[in-house]
Amino acid sequence: MATIDTKEPNAELVTKTQHYGDDPLAVRDSDHYRNEYVKTFVEKWDELIDWDARAESEGQFFIDILKARGKKKILDVATGTGFHSVQLMKAGFDVTSVDGSAAMLAKAFENAKDRRIILRTCQADWRFLNRDLHGKFDAIICLGNSFTHLHDEHDRRRALAEFYAALKHDGVLIIDQRNYDAILDNGYSSKHKYYYCGDKVTAEPAHMDEGLARFRYAFPDGSEYTLNMFPLRKNYTRRLLSEAGFQYVRTFGDFQETYQEDDPDFFIHVAEKT
């Protein structure tokens, strides 16, 4: 069993360059995320998301949802560089921060420490969550378009079953995703208002088909990175959540309850066990 750690996570096993082999479009593998979040990309991630702008655009959305339901003990399963873990700890929640990438967790720990916060971290893959982390939580958050990293339906169902099991009987899962329906059906456009708020960085699809969303991230210093993701359609994710056992699934579009289907850049699903 992996222990929960409050010491700096070890990122030394992390590689420096991304490798997709001869045919990058053929890389559709749920294990590949660890090779994609190489140290140099992780170091740049916060330029892409811009914490201050993101905090302003999200406002109290997640905090309000959690507080309205009386949730206190939160598991952030896609910690990344730590944005939501830190926001929630600042707001007084008891947060445990999980990620499958050692590089991401190390960066999150450093980011929190810079803000005088000590993160409780645990490196674990969602598909083996309850093997590696014990305890039941009031709420799980899986944010920043993270679930899209799972390429096989079997892995998605398995991860959702692990999330469900790690929640208390009345727990809530908040999971978000890009509006892939709009990109697949109408082509890509973005308001760049939410999530990836850094204004000097571009994040755009390099390839889209029903089985692959390959995004390219270009930074002002000329460096470029890519992520190969699975383009989740909104109703498909909602169905997976229901089939995992969640009784109520409510989907917001760019933090609004009502929206035109094509309009939002991101969907946020709030899935309740009871």
Q: Does 177 help bind ligand SAM (rule: CB under 6 A)?
A: no
Q: What share of the chain is helix, strand, coil (3-state, %, to 5)?
A: 35, 25, 40
Q: Does 162 help bind ligand SAM (rule: CB under 6 A)?
A: no
**Footprint of ligand SAM on residues 115-144 (CB under 6 A)?**
125-127, 143-144
Q: Binding residue for ligand SAM (CB under 6 A) from 18, 41, 66, 83?
A: 83
Stretch that binds ligand SAM, among 100-108, 202-210, 231-239, 261-269 (CB under 6 A): 100-108
Least distance from ligand SAM to the Cβ atom of residue 32, Å: 9
Alpha carbons 151 and 156: distance in angstroms, whole number: 8
Beta bridge partners of 203: 217
- Which residue stretches of 142-233 are H helix? 153-166, 180-186
| Of residues 62 and 170, the one with the C-beta less far from ligand SAM | 62
Q: Does 99 help bind ligand SAM (rule: CB under 6 A)?
A: yes
Q: Binding residue for ligand SAM (CB under 6 A) from 65, 88, 102, 104?
A: 104
Q: Does 175 help bind ligand SAM (rule: CB under 6 A)?
A: no
| Residues binding ligand SAM: number (CB under 6 A) | 19
Q: Which residues contact 38 (CB under 8 A, 6 or more apart)?
A: 14, 15, 16, 17, 18, 103, 225
Q: Does 145 help bind ligand SAM (rule: CB under 6 A)?
A: yes
Q: Binding residue for ligand SAM (CB under 6 A) from 49, 139, 166, 172?
A: 49
Alpha carbons 13 and 8: distance in angstroms, whole number: 14
Q: Does 180 help bind ligand SAM (rule: CB under 6 A)?
A: no
Q: Which two tokens stand for residue 225?
A: 């990175």
Residues belonging to the chain: 274
Within 13 Å of residue 39, how many CA atoms lie on the same side as its CB? 8
Least distance from ligand SAM to the Cβ atom of residue 258, Å: 24
Q: Which two tokens stand for residue 151?
A: 């390429």
Q: Which residues contact 125 (CB under 8 A, 6 or more apart)?
A: 100, 132
Question: Which residue minimizes CB distance to ligand SAM?
Answer: 144
Least distance from ligand SAM to the Cβ atom of residue 274, Å: 26
> Where on the chain is the footprint of ligand SAM (CB under 6 A)?
33, 37, 49, 78, 80-81, 83, 99-101, 104, 125-127, 143-146, 149
